[in-house]
Every structure is written in structure tokens, then in C-alpha cells.
Amino acid sequence: MKSADIFNQNTSGSNFTEPLVINHLNDNILQLYELNTPFMILLETCHEKENLYSIYQFSQQSYQSSQIDEAALQSFLERPQHQHSFIEIMYVLSGSVTNHVENQTFTYEAGQCCIMNKNIRHKEDFTGEFQIVFLMLRDDFIMELLKEYQEHERKRNLPKPSNPIFQLVEDGQNEPLKFDKIYLDYFPMVPSDDILDHLTPIFNSIILETISQEPGSAFFIKGFFCRLFHLLNNPNLFSISRIHSESDNQEFLFSKISHIMKVSHGRCTREDLSARLHYNSEYLNRIVKKYTGKTILEYGQSIYLEEARRMISDTDKSISAIIAEMGFSNRSHFYRLFEKAYGETPLDYRKRCL
């Protein structure tokens, strides 16, 4: 949903080079998006019930906005998958969006993030109710951020930073890896609103500095991007999965299932997984059985029982509070499951761990 010709408002004057250009526009295979600026930000909103489709574009060259009518929307829905000449970060602010990645289709919910390398072919469905921010970053700009990042860590006498976003760019410059189709999936480990409390000020600051172009703006923009990368790499906020889109399809799907189950604390049913992953629930159940020896229900139980076990041993929360936090209304049922899994009652286990 990023065609440069949809924008009809340009506040920077008439003489400027489009920051985003689509090459091979009518090609179903070779369509390529290129940046003429170090970075660009797109904010896309869709309110399907009100027929409101809006896009806001921010770059160092221009600020543009557009309302999309139904005819233009239909043409976008029919567009082919495309690639980028840059790294793209997609973060879902609210609602959900369907993303077609190579030969897979996934739904991304609020708080989830996906980062594509330059070899991934994909497209997003611009339907439903959502608000998404896209951050498009050229390799040279990301490498400038890496230098800032490394200098910060050096001054604090910390080891060379390991960040999967920087790794995507470095891999793209490594001959054996440069054609690999890699993307990063970020699943929130805390409620999405909690993450937005951290990320929204950063998004807003980058946009405001990009628009203002005051002295020092370029310096601040780099700093805010470095902070964003640092937050995305925080394991307390996100579970990160590096996915090779050409890997075995069942292994690929199990990785998705595992992340969804862990983020939902094991409370995701076969039907929920089927709706989110667009696969038959029985097929997904067979995949889980193949990799874990458990059904989806049993696998979910093992996840929330392990969380309960950890809280019993590592926190001073009451067992009643833990049972409630795990979503159990029946204390006896929880006790039976725990004793079956670990061979002793939760109370006996806590006493042994003291």
C-alpha cells in the first residue's frame, strides 16, 4: 500500500524527487520499491466501516497525506507482491492486518512487529480496522545507526552489540547470505498498550524531527532510531523469531504456533490458531504433535503449567494469586494438572524450593 502516486498533498513545494519509487510497476514478479532518501515513515489507517483509508508519508524531503477512495483501494488489493531495496519495519499500532509473505499468509495483531529483508516478496491487505506504522531504512542509514550504537556501547565498556536488525543488513552484504529470504517476527511479551507507552514517544519524536528539520534534527533522529532498535531488542518486551521463508513449511508453521502459544500463556485454542494462521486446525494439531509429542491442548497446558511452576519457585505470590493469573477458576483442576506434571502439589513444590 505504498504507491507514490496516491499522494495528492505535498507541503514541501512542487520541485522535489519522490522519496519512494516503484520500479517495474506492471510486473507481477519484479516489482521493486526503492528509496531516494535515507529513511521514510508511512502511517496507514483503515476504518473500513466508514470507508476511510488514509496514508501519511514523512521523509526528509517531504510530508504528504492522502485519502484513498474505494476505486483506488480495489486496485491496491489486486496488486502483486513486491520487494524493497531497503529494510522495512512494520509495527501494528491498533487493530490487525493480514500480511502475505511469499507463499504464507499471517495476521498481525496490535503490538506485533515484522521486519523484512530486501529479498522477501510480500504485500499487506488494506482492509479491516487498523493503524500501522512502516519504517523504511536504507542500508547506508542503518550502518550509520550501527556506528552510533557501537560507540555508545564502547563508552560504557559493553561488548559489541548483537541486534537482529543490524544483522539483517550485515547478512545482506555477506556473499553466502545476501540472497536469503529472511524476516524477523516480534511477538509482544507484555500487553501491547504497555509497549506503546515506550514506542509512541519515539515514533512521534522521529516524525516531528523529520518534519521540523531544525538544526540538530538529523542527530536527534539517529538517536531516536537507536533507542527504537534497543527497545525492539528487549527480551522483556518482545519474543523475536528469525525466520527463513524457504525453510521447511511445517517447521516454519511450528515456529509461529510456538510464539503465539507462549505469548498467550498457552491459552490459544485450535480454532484461534486456525483463524490467525489460515490453516486447518487439525493440520496445525498434527504439526504440534510432530514437534512436541503433544496435542495443541496439551502443549498449551505445558506452557501455562511451566509459567506457574516458575512463579511458585521464583516469586512470593500466593498460590491462589498464581492460579487466578493463569486463568483457572477451578483450584482443584489446577492442582490435579500440576501434580500430574511435576509429581507433587504446588504447595509441596514451593516448600522444597525454599
Q: Dihedral (C-alpha) 302, 305, 309, 311: value to the nearest 10 degrees? A: 120
For residue 15, pLDDT beyond 70: no
Query: What is the pLDDT at residue 157?
Result: 66
pLDDT: which is higher, 72 or 129:
129
Position 193: which residue type?
Answer: D
CA distance between the termini of the chain: 56
SS3 of 321, please? helix
User: Are 63 and 51 in contact, with CB atoms under 8 Å apart?
Assistant: no
The two beta strands, 39-47 and 129-137, are antiparallel
Is the pTM value of this prediction over 0.85?
no
Helices (H), the chain: 70-77, 139-155, 164-172, 192-212, 217-232, 249-263, 270-277, 281-292, 296-314, 319-325, 331-342, 346-353
Phi, psi of 110, deg, nearest 5: -55, 135
Give per-residue pLDDT as tens, 34-92. 889 999 999 998 887 777 788 899 998 888 888 877 777 777 667 788 889 899 999 99
Lowest mean pLDDT among 10-24, 105-119, 335-349: 10-24
Give the C-alpha separation, 84 to 273, whole Å.
30
Give the C-alpha separation, 102 to 271, whole Å.
24
Give per-residue pLDDT as tens, 316-343. 899 999 988 888 878 888 899 999 999 9
Query: What is the pLDDT at residue 298?
Result: 92
Q: Which positions ≥6 away from 55 have C-beta within 8 Å?
A: 1, 6, 7, 42, 43, 44, 45, 65, 66, 68
